[in-house]
Structure 1
Amino acid sequence: MLQVYNHTYTHVRSQFSEGTMAHTSIIKHILVTFCFLECLLLSGFIFGWSSLVYVFKELGYFHKYCNHSLANSSSSLRISNNVTTEDGLHNCHEQDAALDLVFTISAVGSMLCLFPLGAVIDRFGVIIGRVTSGSLLCFGLLLAAFTTPKLSELLFPACLAIASGGLLLLVVDIKIVANLKLRRKGTAIAFLDSAFDSSAFVTVVIQIAYNLGLHYRLSFFVILSLCTISMVTTLCTVLYSRASAPDTNDVPLEFADPQNKIDNAFDNPGLDNNGDIPTIPPDTNSDPVDKTLPITPTYQIEKRFPTLHSAMGSALFISLLIWMGLLHLRWTFFIGAFNVWIERLTDHDKILVNNYTFICNMIQFGGILTAPAQGYLLDRRIVSSSRDPLRDLKNCRLTFFITALIFSVFSLCVAIPVLQLQIVSFVLLSIARCFLYSLVSAFITFTFPTDYLGRLYGMTSIVNAVMTVIQFPLFVATEGSELGFYVNVIFLPITLLSFIHPVYLHFYIKNTLKPKLTGTSSTIRLEG
């Protein structure tokens, strides 16, 4: 009976606390919403590079690298994104190469910088992390606004700072959400990553504003003002310091009795919580209350990751890196070789190329619409803000499988040289990209201590950088040849290898996280 009292007291106290701290829930939702808007407007707009390239080429950035005769003959032309200029002159390949190099250095550099920047977050907290990300963004935006065609080289440090600051801002916001006790934490993380992926729409707005006659500097100043507002809100140190303090009752994979199971068992007596929490069978000789007392399973889970080295060296994390690296290589090669690939499918029809490029870009911006589906998969059967790590891993296992399946179907569609079918490829790519990075963020948050989140996320970013570098020689090798078709065919079995990770996770859950009741197999013993 003492055990019944203890469990009942714990349940009532938690319910009372939730009722008296309703304002805390409001603060959490405001904080998550603010983080979402930050990611949507500031974090990843540099990755809408195609729209920025349009503006920079129109203004003549890096045009000085073109050969002398072309530079003289096109001085009065507005260079377009088509294969030829208005007078039929071919685009300057040196200019294209320079602009591609700006993006490559910015993307790869920001990914490589994230590990030391993530260490700053882990060591000094989210306040310093936000100040660092905001400073990088403001510096990059201000420098980009004052670049001119004669000072085109300034785009290199400007875009690198913008990309690094935006990626760091995403990690800071993910860490804030990770340290909050949220029932729908997976949904919140999915919205953050989807916002990061969809924030490229900002560059489309810049392009439209430029075509309407507005100077590109005005657009950069507007974004700079938004970044400044974000920096000012960082002064609300109490709000963020509360979010940055890890909740000792919500440490992943380090507790044996998730409170939400006990609460659920008291709210639904006699239920076994989907087979995870068995209950004592009825006994006519026992007290009626004892019949529904849940047995507390003692998960044989030690503190598996006491150090950063143990987390990074674990088979679970290495398997995640391999899974993510394969899929990241798949979609980055598709984006890098998109123009050559679509031109070959359209037989170099400029109108079709422009139409399909526009359709692809618009569909990618709709990735944020997939966030509710991601959140549902990651938060299935979560009944309390005190999350069950076993339930989280089961949800991630299913989502890993679905993501690998989407990428496999996407690779199959790309390998089939039918132009109309590629609309399906664009839709699948938009869904797959958002699932990929949202799942990686959620998995790291659910599986490893949040003290390591910045550095672990930084390590995944380093793998992404390596894969981005690998796809570049692949693109060069396939440009101007028929090898692109065969590379897309080879990517199909490579993508199928991504199913190894959810299979491994299945056996990890089965063998390592299987709940074991103390005592002999024929005796059920309660622990006080």
Structure 2
Amino acid sequence: MDISKEKNIYRKWLGVLLLLIEMNLLGGTIYGFPAIFKVLSKNKIYQNLCSSSTTDKCSEQLQQYQNGLTLGIAFFDLPSFVIGILIDKFGCRFVKLISIIFHIIGWLSLALLKPGRDYLLYIHCIFSSISGIVVVITTYTSSNYFSKSRAFVASLLAGAGISSTMWFSIFQAIIDNEILELSHLAYIWLAFGLLMLITSFLFLDWKYSFLNLPYKFDVQLESTDENELNRNSFWKHFRSPLYILVVLFLSILLIPSVFLAVVWEPSITFITEHDKSLANKYTFAYNVTMAFSIIICPINGFLLGFKADKSKKQKLLNISLVETTSWLLNIALCIIPMFLSPNIIIPILIINCLSRATIVAACQAVISTFFPSTYIGRLTGIMWTIVGIITFIQFALVKLTNPIEEAWRAWLIILLLVVIMSCHLIQIWIKYFKQKKIELNNFIVTNTRF
């Protein structure tokens, strides 16, 4: 190994480390936003919607917080298609530099949020989410600097993004202990725009001919024949059954964990019988447990990549096992919240972490491992845009959760959607057994010749 190549390897892995930290800080904070609902209420955000007779619970105020969260989650996914196209055309560095502007606007809005400027809540949710999804997609794309360890790197970064959910709970703990105020924490997070600037130039590249990285995407396990690449055009990959089913599978199976985030605050308030101190502790645990995604996602990535370069049969087996596990976890996640009692809290914390980490890591690793890096930006972007479109179903589902005791109706609808996706599992297992039969026949034919 020559010295320059060895330096590039060290730089690649240093990039993974810093991008992992960045993903953890900025990648998906919007999913933990319910943790500061009580802080927003204490700061009298949208207090004007509450009647003077309201002493503790104000459904109109809570509805604004939930709408901001749902809109933020939708905008976390919706721009992905456009972002993917921009990445393929201009490169990750260019797109990420533009996103720094959205990052600054988003967190500055939260820092300046106060009664009379309540609308800044929505601006924070939308702009910080757009910035966050750029961080996520550009970081996922950077996994293409690796070949054999691509699935592991992609899933490790996915785990870091999911674990970013915990930060708003940490905000809540800091504010409750009167260490800092929400505005101070928002200014600190605004300053992480500098980290985005540093990682953009040191570990990401663009299509321009200056200030380029000394290494390119590692495509040694992909087809390098130009005619093959022409035959395997973007539209062929876009229309492939594997891609279509993975996108639908991710879109539907993310609904339970996303919906849980939206209804967590009223659910935990009901379960704890309005004990604010206990509810805050459970909310903190709910978000902090997502930090274990950093461990769970790479395990899923390892399982997906296990001997995947040896045969197509092994690839299909890996996908089938991980996606079946994810489907079963989401079935449980839909059923348990129908029964609001203290006994469901611990199971929900465990299953929510496992299910979200498994489905995100599985689908992202499938995209990163089984599709050409040439189209990775667009394919990832389309996938998350469709997820964002389907997220809007929650505006209708939330209406079924008032009062929260009737939330089982919304969970039943989500359960039916998840059950319908069993058709994908049937198809993927059929593909596996067909491929297994083909390889077995080939093995028999080859050995009978001798």
Shorter-chain TM band = 0.7 to 0.9
| Matched position secondary structure for 2:307 | coil
Conserved 8 A contact 1:184-1:375: no
Name the CA distance, whole Å, in 2 between partners of 1:141 and 1:355. 25
In the alignment, what sits opposite 1:36?
20
In the alignment, what sits opposite 2:190?
224
AA partner of residue 191 (structure 1): L
Conserved 8 A contact 1:175-1:244: no
2:435 is aligned with 1:464: no
Name the CA distance, whole Å, in 2 between partners of 1:505 and 1:352. 44
2:311 is aligned with 1:406: no
Measured against aligned partners, the alpha-carbon deviations of 1:334-389 in whole angstroms (never above 9, x if no partner) come to 3333344445555666666555444433333433332342233123236xxx8876
CA offset at residue 325 of structure 1? 2.4
* Equivalent of 2:350 in 411, 427, 439: 427
Measured against aligned partners, the alpha-carbon deviations of 1:256-294 in whole angstroms (never above 9, x if no partner) come to 9xxxxxxxxxxxxxxxxxxxxxxxxxxxxxxxxxxxxxx
Identify if the C-alpha distance between structure 1 residues 303 and 478 changes in structure 2 by more than 3 Å, giving closer, same or farther: same
In the alignment, what sits opposite 2:175?
210
Name the CA distance, whole Å, in 1 between partners of 2:444 and 2:354. 48
Identify if the C-alpha distance between structure 1 residues 53 and 482 changes in structure 2 by more than 3 Å, giving closer, same or farther: closer
Name the CA distance, whole Å, in 2 between partners of 1:248 and 1:444. 14
In the alignment, what sits opposite 1:506?
429
Identify if the C-alpha distance between structure 1 residues 237 and 200 changes in structure 2 by more than 3 Å, giving closer, same or farther: closer
Name the CA distance, whole Å, in 1 between partners of 2:248 and 2:440. 31
CA offset at residue 49 of structure 1? 0.6
CA offset at residue 242 of structure 1? 4.1
Matches within 5 A, 1:172-191: 172-177=138-143, 179-191=144-156
Identify if the C-alpha distance between structure 1 residues 522 and 388 changes in structure 2 by more than 3 Å, giving closer, same or farther: closer
Measured against aligned partners, the alpha-carbon deviations of 1:105-161 in whole angstroms (never above 9, x if no partner) come to 222123211211221111111111221232321232223323332222123223211
Matches within 5 A, 1:217-256: 217-236=183-202, 241-242=212-213, 245-251=216-222, 254=223
| Matched position secondary structure for 1:136 | helix
Identify if the C-alpha distance between structure 1 residues 160 and 235 changes in structure 2 by more than 3 Å, giving closer, same or farther: same
TM-score by length of 2: 0.85
Identify if the C-alpha distance between structure 1 residues 151 and 119 changes in structure 2 by more than 3 Å, giving closer, same or farther: same
* Equivalent of 2:100 in 126, 134, 141: 134
What count of residue pairs does the alignment treat as equivalent? 441
| Matched position secondary structure for 1:337 | helix
Name the CA distance, whole Å, in 1 between partners of 2:230 and 2:424. 19
| Matched position secondary structure for 2:107 | helix
CA offset at residue 247 of structure 1? 3.2
In the alignment, what sits opposite 2:136?
170
CA offset at residue 447 of structure 1? 2.0
CA offset at residue 490 of structure 1? 5.6
* Equivalent of 1:108 in 74, 82, 96: 74
Name the CA distance, whole Å, in 2 between partners of 1:337 and 1:414. 10
* Equivalent of 1:368 in 271, 290, 294: 294
CA offset at residue 97 of structure 1? 2.1
| Matched position secondary structure for 2:368 | helix
| Matched position secondary structure for 2:403 | coil
CA offset at residue 206 of structure 1? 2.3
Identify if the C-alpha distance between structure 1 residues 488 and 217 changes in structure 2 by more than 3 Å, giving closer, same or farther: closer
AA partner of residue 49 (structure 2): Y
CA offset at residue 442 of structure 1? 0.8
| Matched position secondary structure for 1:35 | helix
Name the one with the larger helix percent.
2
Matches within 5 A, 1:276-425: 306-342=232-268, 345=271, 353-381=279-307, 391-415=314-338, 419-425=342-348
In the alignment, what sits opposite 2:209?
none
In the alignment, what sits opposite 1:145?
111
Conserved 8 A contact 1:305-1:311: no
Measured against aligned partners, the alpha-carbon deviations of 1:463-496 in whole angstroms (never above 9, x if no partner) come to 3223322133122124227543355456545434
In the alignment, what sits opposite 1:270?
none
Q: RMSD of the alignment, in Å? A: 3.5
Identify if the C-alpha distance between structure 1 residues 156 and 354 changes in structure 2 by more than 3 Å, giving closer, same or farther: closer
CA offset at residue 231 of structure 1? 0.6
CA offset at residue 510 of structure 1? 5.0
Name the CA distance, whole Å, in 1 between partners of 2:204 and 2:352. 40
AA partner of residue 350 (structure 2): V
Identify if the C-alpha distance between structure 1 residues 136 and 512 changes in structure 2 by more than 3 Å, giving closer, same or farther: farther
AA partner of residue 187 (structure 2): F
CA offset at residue 432 of structure 1? 0.7
Identify if the C-alpha distance between structure 1 residues 40 and 518 changes in structure 2 by more than 3 Å, giving closer, same or farther: same
In the alignment, what sits opposite 1:479?
402
Conserved 8 A contact 2:93-2:205: no
In the alignment, what sits opposite 2:43?
59
Identify if the C-alpha distance between structure 1 residues 142 and 481 changes in structure 2 by more than 3 Å, giving closer, same or farther: closer
| Matched position secondary structure for 1:234 | helix
Measured against aligned partners, the alpha-carbon deviations of 1:275-329 in whole angstroms (never above 9, x if no partner) come to xxxxxxxxxxxxxxxxxxxxxxxxxx97697333322222222211222222122
Mark the runs of 5 or more structure 1 residues left unpaired by the alignment: 1-16, 71-83, 257-300
Identify if the C-alpha distance between structure 1 residues 230 and 325 changes in structure 2 by more than 3 Å, giving closer, same or farther: closer
Name the CA distance, whole Å, in 1 between partners of 2:232 and 2:125. 37
Name the CA distance, whole Å, in 2 between partners of 1:351 and 1:522. 69
TM-score by length of 1: 0.73
Mean Cα deviation higher: 476-485 or 218-227: 476-485
Larger radius of gyration: 1
Conserved 8 A contact 1:518-1:524: no
Name the CA distance, whole Å, in 2 between partners of 1:65 and 1:410. 33
Conserved 8 A contact 1:103-1:159: yes
Name the CA distance, whole Å, in 2 between partners of 1:462 and 1:100. 21
CA offset at residue 20 of structure 1? 8.2
AA partner of residue 242 (structure 2): L
AA partner of residue 162 (structure 2): D
Name the CA distance, whole Å, in 1 between partners of 2:255 and 2:386. 10
